[in-house]
């Protein structure tokens, strides 16, 4: 406290200060020092908080980038390409059947089913691409017809003759259901689509 008189005299102060005034001057000085310290600490804390936030965001971005890179690339679905692929598969099956020299009635039945499937596939996939019935008929075209004809074609010509009645019954059942689906589509009986899809899935698709 003895410094303050010297400082005041050095600055030209000639008056007198009471002890109370000295006390207030000291408190103000201490307050200013404390304010400077708090301000400095606050700046440090703000910088630290901002740095931590930036570091967290950068880390999150890096992790998400690595996660996307590690996932397999998902190709966009091309409905038209899928339809063309199914139609080509039916053409290939038709060629296989013809090259195998099967019985004329079996050949005629398979080709009739292929023609009906081709018409249904285009109609359903263009007008009702998201419907369960469309998906079910697609599976019948892609897999079920080959499943029916494959074992028959694998037999010798002699053994095929013994199984001819059986494969004709299977083909008759498939063709009859395709006719029913065609009637629903032509008549736009949307209320029956779901029930028919469930029936066809249980009869033809679930066993694939």
| pLDDT, tens digit, 9 for 90 and up, residues 140-199 | 999 999 999 999 999 998 899 899 999 999 999 999 999 999 999 988 888 899 999 999
pTM of the model: 0.61
Enumerate residues 6+ apart whose C-beta is below 8 A from 117. Answer: 90, 137, 140, 141, 145, 178
Domain shared by 83 and 45, yes or no: no
Whether 46 and 126 map to the same domain: the answer is no
For the segment 91-110, the average pLDDT, to the nearest whole number, is: 92
Count CB atoms within 10 A of the CB of residue 60. Answer: 10
Residue 201 burial (10 A CB sphere; 0-12, 13-18, 19+): middle
Task: Print the domain residue range for 105.
Answer: 79-205
Task: Look at residue 13 and tell me whether its pLDDT is greater than 50.
Answer: no
Largest CA distance in the chain: 135
Same domain, 122 and 99: yes
CA-to-CA distance for 71 and 73, rounded, in angstroms?
6
CA distance linking residue 45 with residue 64, whole number of Å? 29
The span from the CA of 184 to the CA of 192, in Å, is 7
Domain count, the chain: 2
The DSSP result for 161-177, as a single string, is: HHHHHHHHHHHHHHHHH
Residues 133 and 116 in one domain: yes
- Distant-in-sequence, close-in-space partners of 90: CB < 8 Å, separation ≥ 6: 114, 117, 118, 141, 145
Which position has the token pair 């020092």?
Answer: 33
pLDDT, tens digit (0-9, with 9 covering 90-100), for 101-151: 889 999 999 999 999 999 999 999 999 998 999 999 999 999 999 999 999
Q: Are residues 63 and 109 in the same domain?
A: no
Q: Are residues 59 and 95 in the same domain?
A: no
Domain stops at, among 45, 70, 95: 70
Contact (CB, 8 A) for 139 and 208: yes
Alpha carbon distance 204, 77 (integer Å): 25
Other beta carbons within 10 Å of 25: 15
Q: What is the CA radius of gyration of the chain?
A: 43
- Angle between the N-to-C axes of helices 145-153 and 104-127, in degrees from 0 to 180, rounded to the nearest 10: 160
Same domain, residue pair 199 and 147: yes
């Amino acid at each position: 406290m003895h410094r303050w008189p010297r400082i005041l005299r050095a600055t030209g102060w000639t008056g007198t200060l009471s002890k109370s005034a000295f006390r207030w001057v000291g408190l103000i000085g201490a307050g200013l020092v404390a304010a400077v310290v708090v301000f400095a600490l606050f700046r440090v804390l703000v910088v630290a908080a901002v740095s931590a936030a930036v570091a967290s965001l950068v880390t999150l971005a890096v992790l998400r980038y690595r996660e996307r890179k590690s996932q397999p690339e998902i190709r966009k679905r091309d409905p038209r390409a899928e339809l063309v692929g199914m139609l080509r598969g039916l053409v290939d099956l038709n060629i296989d059947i013809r090259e195998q020299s099967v019985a004329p009635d079996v050949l005629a039945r398979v080709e009739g089913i292929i023609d009906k499937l081709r018409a249904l596939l285009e109609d359903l996939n263009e007008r009702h691409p998201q419907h369960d019935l469309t998906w079910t008929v697609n599976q019948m075209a892609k897999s079920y017809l080959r499943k029916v004809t494959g074992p028959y074609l694998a037999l010798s010509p002699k053994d095929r003759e013994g199984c001819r009645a059986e494969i004709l019954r299977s083909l008759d059942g498939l063709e009859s259901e395709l006719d029913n689906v065609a009637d629903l589509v032509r008549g736009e009986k949307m209320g029956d689509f779901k029930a028919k899809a469930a029936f066809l899935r249980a009869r033809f698709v679930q066993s694939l």
